[in-house]
Amino acid sequence: MNSVGNFVPPALIFPRKNRKEELLDALPPGSLGLFNETGWMTSDSFALWLKHFQTFVKASPDSKVLLLLDGHTSHKSLNALTFARRNGIIPLCFPAHCAHRMQPLDVSFYGPLKTFYNQECALWLKNHPGRVITLHQIGELFTSAYGKAATIKNATSAFVNTEIYPFNLHIFPDEFFEPAETTNRLLEPTIEEGASHRPEQPSTSNE
């Protein structure tokens, strides 16, 4: 999503070795279905997603797009970075352990999405007693939840609350840095380090 409330159709990763098109039938229009054995983002999956992203944002060297990401290793493969550079996509990773404050999706989108999705799951289970939710129901349940969460208000407020747009350099107050002060000091040399800096003494021997 971006700071004016537009959304790129989502991508879902299914934990399957082989692709199964039926799982994608009920997803939001334009969604990308990815398949791998773990169900987690990988370098190959991210490279496919990046092409999906480019299809909708249509970035170019003359009209660049800034892509904000967390620092996961899957986002930093040579293939992905080469594709991004050729197409005018500028990836920018958030610092470690800051996503809960700086990443718009974390701040104002994933929370509502999870709430709505859990509500859809609870309703489905109530209407289908004795059954369990499988991959075949994910598309329908997700689409309903996504439609409620992917709003202009959630998108724009996410960038306001993270102070990315409008930009505020001082998003973190000074007290947020206090825990780091324990490491912001000079370390005294250990015995071994001190010994290594002593001048060598000439050796003596009896002959």
Cβ neighbors of 12 (< 8 A, separation 6 or more) are: 27, 31, 32, 33, 34, 138, 139, 142
> What are the 10-residue block averages of pLDDT along the chain, 207 residues in total?
97 95 96 96 97 98 96 94 98 88 94 98 97 96 98 96 91 78 71 54 49
pTM for this entry: 0.81
Say if residue 9 is preceded by a cis peptide, omega within 30 of 0.
no
Which pLDDT belongs to residue 130? 96
Say if residue 166 is preceded by a cis peptide, omega within 30 of 0.
yes
Which pLDDT belongs to residue 205? 47
